[in-house]
Structures are given as C-alpha cells and as structure tokens.
Structure 1
Amino acid sequence: MNEQNETANKKKQLMPKGCVCIFIIIALFGGIGWKMGVAQMLNTIMHTAHDLLLNTCFYLMAICVLTGALGKLFVEFGVVDLIEKFFRPMMRPLFRLPGVASLGAVLTFLSDNPAIITLAHDKHFSGYFKKFQYISLTNFGTAFGMGLIVIVFMLGNGYFVEPLLGFIGACIGCLVSTRLMQIFVLKAYPNYREENALESQQFEQQAEQSVRQEEKSVFLRTLNSLLDGGKSGVEVGMSIIPGVLIISTLVMILTFGPAADGSFTGKAYEGIAVLPELANKIDWLLQPLFGFTDPHQIAFPITALGAVGAALSLVPNFATQGWIDGNAIAVFTGIGMCWSGFLSTHTAMLDTIGYRELTSKAIISHTIGGLCAALTAHWLYLIFC
C-alpha cells in the first residue's frame, strides 16, 4: 500500500514538470513554425542537421583524430612531462595551485574537460592539494578543454595571430575563474584551507617504462601511440556530434533569417533571426566590451556555453556571410576555450569528485572567467592588430 502511495505521489510530482516541458516545446517550435511554416521548419531542421553532420562534424572529427594522435605521441615520448615542468613554476603564484596542476592543463588542452577529473582521481596526484585547491581543479581544467582543437580549427580557417591572442585571453579567464572559485569555497568552508584533499602518498611521475614497454622499438611505440590517440580522437569526435546537431541547429534557426527574397523555402540555414534582434538591443554593451561588429556574433558564446564543438560549427557559415572579422576570431577563441561547454560538464564533474553542492559557485566563477577571457582577447586584438 505504501509503495502504491509513493508511486502515486511521484506521478503527481512529475506531472507539473512534464506540463512545463510540453509547454516550452510547444511555445518554442510552435512560434518558429508559425513564422516559418511547419513544413518549412521541419525541412530546414533536417537539412541544416544533415549539412552540419557532413561538412562540420566530420571535419571536427578529423581534427580530433589528428590532435588525439599528436597528444598521445607527446605523452608516450615525454613531451607532455617536458611542457609540464616548464609551466610548473607558474602554478602557485598565478593560480594558487601546486605545480603538478600544470599537468592537468596540458592534458585537458590536448583532449577535453573530463581529463582533469581522471587525473584528480589519481591518489598520488591529489595528495599535493588542499581541499579548496582540489575543488577548483574543475574550473582550472575546463578553461583549457579542447584548446588544441579550437586553435587548430581557427588556424585551418586562415587565422594565425588571432587564435594566439584568444589563447592568452583564455589563460586570463582561467586565472579569474580559478581564483574566484577558491574564494567562494574558502568563504563557505574556511576549514578547507588546511584540510588535505586526500590522505595519500605523494604524486610521482612514472618516468620509467615497464620492461615490456622498453622492449618495444621506437617504431612500434610511435605506431601504437598514433593509432591509440587517433582512436580516442574518434571517440571525442563522436561525442560532439549530438551537441553540434542539436544545439547548433537550434541556434542557427534563431540566428539566420529567411531566403534572399524574404520567403522560407525549407533549405538549410534559414531561420527567424531572433538572436540578432536581441543582440541589437544590447549592442551598446557588446561593442565596447567585446568589439562585436555584427549582432549574429552573439550566437557563438551562447552556443559555447553548452558545447564548444557546436560553437565552432558556426564559424564557417559566419565567414561565408561576412559576419566575422579578426577581432571576432580572437574573442571566439578566448571565450570558446575558457567556457568549452562548461554548463554541460560542470555538474557531472563536481558530482564525480564529491562536491555537488558547490556547482552553483563553480558556474558563477566560470561564467565571469569566460567574460574576462573575451574582454582580454578583444583588447589584445586592439593593441596588437
């Protein structure tokens, strides 16, 4: 009897949420369909998703495969360790983190946000951290997620100086985000300043390869690294497809307008241009802060909140339409790297390390950090370009 009552109560609790969900879907797609026409809206959605899959997702997957192979090769032959040792002296004075945290930055830069959590679960690694530092690793690592992919993508589109300025902006955004998160954590839990993250042995670099690994020739190690890294790149490329197809398709419908004659034909990349209209209303803020010269550019940071891979898919179409310039590329690189879809990963990442209650503080810190990254990239572009 009690079980039946509990089931009935759960159903009653779910009904309002279900009603809200249905209302939002009907309001969103009903409004789009009312303006475009239902048939044209459905055709545009399918054609846009299909074009994104063929011309953007597979291109991004190719980049992921190549960068994954390069990253694995760097790990195999000690390049990552060399880079980590170079950046280690900067960690404590800048980010208030132990020197080994630089390894997390390198690994997330070569792969994606969750790499920092995999590393944080290493007991030897976590032994260097106080609790407030350990928690801020989520913000620190996220700011470099998919960094190599973002930069290579921008380079592939013919921009060279701008992505480097954006990278510097992302570093500043990471600094702001990490420091803010530490302040929030210490304000809520002052005892975390002295408590160790985990009672464990000190982290030690595994400098020596196993006997079996040593027996392998340089050729086999190189071949295995390239193939294993490429395989991991395929997995990353596959994982970004849903975000690109779902988020980017919706954002593009809200960003682009009708055909040249003002009609809706159902072709790819048509829409109702709501986001540019909203951006025009705050142009007085966007232009001086970020240097956005076209209201359509606001779509990139909005998309980057959920998935930076989806945000990158906007760039080729923006370039075709003539909506972006060098400043936009610098800002896109900075805010894209720093945010790198943190809204879709922060909750899971903090839950994984056992500090779910601090999710809201992490999101606020990283939102501010991303805005600082964009602002820095914009002003660096004005100074150097």
Structure 2
Amino acid sequence: MNEFRTKKAVSKETFVFLAILIATTVYFGTTMGFDVMFDVIIKTAHDLLLDTVFKIMAIAVLAGAFAALMTEFGVVSLINKVLSPIMRPLYNLPGAASLGIITTYLSDNPAIISLTKDKSFTKFFKEHEIPTLCNLGTAFGMGMVLSFYLFSLNADFLPAIIVGNLSALIGSIVSVKIMLHHTKKYYGVTKESERESSLSAEQLSKVREIRPGNTLERFLEAILDGGKNGVEMGLAIIPGVLVICTAVMMLTFGPQGANGEYIGAAYEGVGLFPQLASYIAPVLEFFFGFTSTEAVTLPITSLGAVGAAMGMVPRLLDGGLIASNDIAVFTAMGMCWSGYLSTHVGMMDALGVKRLANKAIISHTFGGLAAGISANYIYKLVVLVMG
C-alpha cells in the first residue's frame, strides 16, 4: 500500500497551513517572548530526549528481553490458554493479549511493541487485531509506577487508586472495541475471513517455534533478540515524543519564575489548557468531579507524559486543589492515557500501520474519557457505601 499520494504543488491547504503556523508562532512569541519561546522548545525537546525517550528505550529493552523469554519457554502459550475465556468476551482478543497488559502495567506503553516483534506472540492474533495492541498496552502504561507513587503520598488514597485501576480497565475496553471497528474496516474483514483466520490462529496455537541450541543457548539468544527489538522500538518513537509532547507541555504549563516571569526553562508555556478548562468548569465537575479547574491539568498533562503529571500532584495537594476523588480520576485517566499523544504515532509506525494512527488516537481519547467518568461515579458510589 503506497504511503504517498500526489497533489497540486501549491494548493489551498498550503496557505491555510502557513496561516496557522504564523498565528501559532505569534501567539507563543508575544506571550513568552520569541527568544524565550525558541529556548524553551529546544530545552524541552532535549529534556524529553534524555529523561523520557532514553528511559522508555531502557524499559523497552528490558521488557523485550523478558517478553522473548516468556514466548521462548511457552509462558505466553500457557497464558493464552488460561485467559482466552476472559479476554475474548472483554476485548475480543486472544488470551495472549493479557501479557501485553502485564508488561505495560509493570513498565510503560511501548513495551507492548516489543511483544509484537515476536512471531511466537503474534501468531495468536488475527491481522486486524495486532494494531489494537497499541491501545491495549497504552491503557495500562506505567500503571504500577503511578499507583505506588500516589499511595506513597498518602496511604488513605488506596481506595481511590483501586477504583482508578478498575476504571482504567473499563477505559481500555472502550478504546480497544472502537479501534477494532476501525481495523476491521481497514483490513476489509468479513465474517467469513474472520472465521478462517480464527481457525488458522487456533491451529498455530497448538504448537510453538523455539530457537536452535540447548536451553542455555536459547535463553541467551532470546534475551539478545528481545533486547534488540526494544532498541529499534525506542528509536522509532523519538519523533512522536519530542514533537507532540513538547507542544502539549507548552500548552499546559505557564512561566516558572518566582514572580511569574519566564526564565527560559524546560516545560514552560502559555498555560492555555487550564484557561480553557475554566470556561467549562461545570461540565468538568459533572463528568469528572474535579475539585478545582487546576485539577484538569493532571489528565491533560497525561496526554503528553503521565510522569510529568505525577510531578504536579504534590503541589496541587499542598494547595488543596485536589482531593481523593481527583486521585481516582487521575489514576484512571493518567494510566489509560499515559502519554498516548506522545507515543501513539511512533507505536503505530513501529507496528507498520501509521495510517491508522489517527484512528488509534481518537479511539483512545474516548477510552480515557470513559475511564475518568467511570472513576468519578464509581468512587462516589464507594464513598456512599462505605459511609
């Protein structure tokens, strides 16, 4: 399938794009100062590269090695057999997909891509199901880190954290189901072809391929192969993280100077998202139960990087701007979204279906919203029941 099409050299969209680009540059430049704007862009991208991308790559290497061992010695096959009765009704995915949930929950979103590079893992899936793994894995990215971090701030948050984890599960189901609808259309799946691929996957699941050599040789080769896949995946996500996450950060945060002035530090911005949130505060209160308009910055920041959102929690707690209900909602949306705007494009590219990236993003947006709304009302119900 060709990735590029032809179009008139200079068209209407050329001038529309220029107008948007100039307007955006003028907005940021007049607010922050043009010198500060470019300084912040460079420093933010540099910081993301060192502190986010390389961290993700390290996680991906370790997760890739771990996943390769799991498939080499039949653990994935066992998980597939045990959990298929659960995963099919919930996600319409094979039981092996649960390994992706476990891997990303213990690490980060892109860890699931390392699994997709292993044929012993992907053999359980139909062709149109593989792209949905991007949404499935992202919904649980950094789940353990986020949960333990919030618990360390206050042990009383435990019920809210548990509700948040449950709600992230609900969000993941919504995201995957919507994405499956798009992938079926993209691959032209019919009921007959789906039935045939199911039979093929069932036959393949009865056996598994192993590497040549004795047990120790297979162990070492699996680690190296899996780690190599992690490196390739880490490199593939760099453009998405640096470009998209930088933009999200600059739209979320404001000046960091002691007196509210710009100092040209990484992650400074115009603070547009919190301003916009103030206009729809009643709507946010109804659906998500936010204690303050500032609380909306947590899920919004999670669009770019949930780690950055975690760093904002203590400051909001000290200012009395968030409460337990907000923690439940943030846990759900932070885990479910977990920086998907900064990783989804790269992850879909690594899966070889970059043209479906927009569908994946739209599907996951609804999934995160479902997670947040579920967390708000489930937690209120828990508080009501517990008295």
TM-score strictly above 0.5: yes
Give the alignment partner of residue 172 of structure 1, picking from 156, 167, 170: 170
Give the alignment partner of residue 137 of structure 2, picking from 133, 145, 148: 145
2:308 matched to which residue of 1?
Answer: 314
1:3 matched to which residue of 2?
Answer: none
* 1:75 partnered with 2:71: yes
1:228 matched to which residue of 2?
Answer: 225
1:130 matched to which residue of 2?
Answer: none
Give the Cα separation in 1 of the matches to 2:287 and 2:102.
26
Q: Percent identity?
A: 34
- Report the 3-state secondary structure (helix = DSSP H, G, I; strand = E; otherwise coil) of the residue aligned with 2:142: helix
What's the CA shift for 1:313? Answer: 4.3
Give the Cα separation in 2 of the matches to 1:19 and 1:192.
42
Give the alignment partner of residue 276 of structure 1, picking from 250, 253, 274: 274
What's the CA shift for 1:273? Answer: 0.8
Give the alignment partner of residue 95 of structure 2, picking from 89, 102, 120: 102
What's the CA shift for 1:380? Answer: 4.7
**CA deviation profile, 1:102-158 (whole Å, cap 9, x unmatched):** 2244347633369669879978853xxxxxxx646644x233224665224425746
Give the 3 Å change call, closer, same or farther, for CA 108–304 of structure 1 in structure 2.
same
Give 1:54's aligned amino acid: L
Q: Say if 2:244 and 2:342, in contact at 8 Å, map to a contact too.
A: no
Give the 3 Å change call, closer, same or farther, for CA 153–257 of structure 1 in structure 2.
same
**CA deviation profile, 1:259-316 (whole Å, cap 9, x unmatched):** 23122221222221111001111222223423444545545655666xxxx4234235
**CA deviation profile, 1:12-68 (whole Å, cap 9, x unmatched):** 43xx22222222111112111011111111112222222233333333333333323
Q: Say if 2:120 and 2:208, in contact at 8 Å, map to a contact too.
A: no
1:56 matched to which residue of 2?
Answer: 52
Give the alignment partner of residue 240 of structure 1, picking from 237, 241, 248: 237
- How many residues get paired? 355
* 1:40 partnered with 2:36: yes
Give 2:143's aligned amino acid: I
Q: Say if 1:170 and 1:373, in contact at 8 Å, map to a contact too.
A: yes
Give the 3 Å change call, closer, same or farther, for CA 223–174 of structure 1 in structure 2.
same
Give the 3 Å change call, closer, same or farther, for CA 143–300 of structure 1 in structure 2.
farther
Give the 3 Å change call, closer, same or farther, for CA 165–20 of structure 1 in structure 2.
same
Give 2:238's aligned amino acid: I
2:336 matched to which residue of 1?
Answer: 335
Q: Say if 1:334 and 1:373, in contact at 8 Å, map to a contact too.
A: no
Give the Cα separation in 1 of the matches to 2:229 and 2:288.
35
- Report the 3-state secondary structure (helix = DSSP H, G, I; strand = E; otherwise coil) of the residue aligned with 2:212: helix
Structure 1 vs Structure 2 CA RMSD:
4.3
Q: Can you give the 5+ residue segments of structure 1 that lack an aligned partner in the other structure?
A: 1-6, 127-133
Give the Cα separation in 2 of the matches to 1:123 and 1:244.
30
Q: Say if 2:165 and 2:332, in contact at 8 Å, map to a contact too.
A: no
Structure-1-length-normalised TM-score: 0.72
Give 1:280's aligned amino acid: S
1:250 matched to which residue of 2?
Answer: 247
Give 2:142's aligned amino acid: V
What's the CA shift for 1:234? Answer: 2.7
Structure-2-length-normalised TM-score: 0.72
